[in-house]
């Protein structure tokens, strides 16, 4: 499998399932057997995820990416053995960082939910091709990651503008929108992945979906107040 197909969600899932470390092996840069050069994507993904791991208190050394050819079995063995040794020195996931296991799982679950947002917010950099290892540390800075979390968007459906057209309801990729015919739609903030699909899908003539950044959204209206009473047409 091309290393470019390794998604952030895969890595976070491995940690959530109890893995103490994740090792990714990929072809050497500029030696892709196809035209995709997916190993550049893998590199950028790992550099971003390491910074995110650091932000949530997880040691970034628990994630490793090594480039080698299929004929370099010795490098693979050395890389894996060295990584296993390092992970053992770090200790069990969470325990080595001094974080409660349940708290760590909670943080990882939150990061997994936000993977689409991380990708959208860093599209340009994730598609870049770094020329040398000296550029790795500068691709994603601590300040950028702090801003990524600080300016995280939230989406809210204005009950006074919602026409229950069900367009956003049907297009939400994670079914985070509650509603139905003649029912004012409400976004479940616990399920929302910050992808902005609802914001793009809402018809401009309604403009019911609002995007906010760095501030909480208004509380949802009560269930009993969500029914829209349509005025019947005059004959």
**SS3 state of residue 228:** coil
Q: Are 64 and 26 in contact (CB under 8 A)?
A: no
Q: Which two three-digit tokens encode residue 120?
A: 């959208």
**Which distant-in-sequence residues (6+ apart) come within 8 Å of 100 by Cβ?**
94
**Which distant-in-sequence residues (6+ apart) come within 8 Å of 140 by Cβ?**
47, 48, 51, 122, 125
Q: How confident is the model at residue 84, as a pLDDT?
A: 97
Dump pLDDT digits (tens) for 72-108: 899 999 999 999 999 999 999 999 999 998 999 999 9
Dump pLDDT digits (tens) for 46-63: 999 999 999 999 999 999
pLDDT at position 33 over 90: no
Dump pLDDT digits (tens) for 166-203: 999 999 999 999 999 999 999 999 999 999 999 999 99
Q: How confident is the model at residue 154, as a pLDDT?
A: 95
Class of domain 153-225: alpha beta
Q: Are 66 and 39 in contact (CB under 8 A)?
A: no
Q: How far apart are CA 163 and CA 157, in angstroms?
A: 10
Strands 22-26 and 183-187, sheet pairing: unpaired
Mean pLDDT of the chain: 93
**Which contiguous run of DSSP H or E holds residue 66?**
strand 63-67
Q: How confident is the model at residue 149, as a pLDDT?
A: 95
In DSSP notation, 87-135 reads HHHH-STTTTTT--HHHHHHHHHHHHHTHHHHHHHTHHHHT---SSGGG
Which residue in 88, 101, 67 sits closest to 21, CA to CA?
88
Q: How confident is the model at residue 31, as a pLDDT?
A: 83
Which sequence spans correspond to the domains of the chain? 3-150, 153-225
Which residue in 36, 37, 87 sits closest to 61, CA to CA?
87
Q: How confident is the model at residue 235, as a pLDDT?
A: 45
């Amino acid at each position: 499998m091309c290393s470019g197909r390794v998604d952030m969600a895969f890595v976070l899932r491995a940690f959530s399932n109890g893995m103490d470390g994740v090792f990714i092996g990929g072809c050497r840069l500029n030696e892709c057997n196809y035209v995709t050069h997916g190993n550049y994507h893998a590199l950028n993904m790992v550099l971003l995820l390491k910074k995110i791991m650091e932000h949530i208190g997880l040691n970034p050394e628990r994630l490793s990416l090594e480039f080698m050819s299929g004929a370099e079995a010795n490098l693979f063995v050395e890389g894996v053995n060295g990584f296993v040794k390092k992970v053992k020195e770090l200790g069990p996931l969470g325990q080595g960082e001094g974080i409660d296991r349940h708290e760590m799982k909670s943080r990882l679950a939150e990061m997994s939910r936000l993977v689409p947002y991380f990708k959208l917010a860093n599209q340009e950099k994730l598609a870049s091709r770094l020329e040398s290892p000296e550029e790795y540390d500068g691709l994603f800075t601590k300040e950028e990651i702090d801003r990524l979390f600080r300016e995280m968007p939230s989406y809210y459906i204005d009950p006074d503008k919602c026409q229950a057209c069900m367009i956003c309801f049907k297009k939400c990729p994670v079914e985070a929108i509650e509603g139905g015919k003649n029912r004012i739609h409400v976004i479940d903030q616990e399920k929302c992945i910050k992808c902005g699909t609802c914001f793009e899908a809402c018809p401009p003539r309604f403009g019911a979906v609002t995007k906010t950044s760095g501030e909480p959204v208004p509380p949802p209206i009560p269930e009993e107040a969500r029914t829209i009473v349509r005025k019947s047409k005059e004959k």
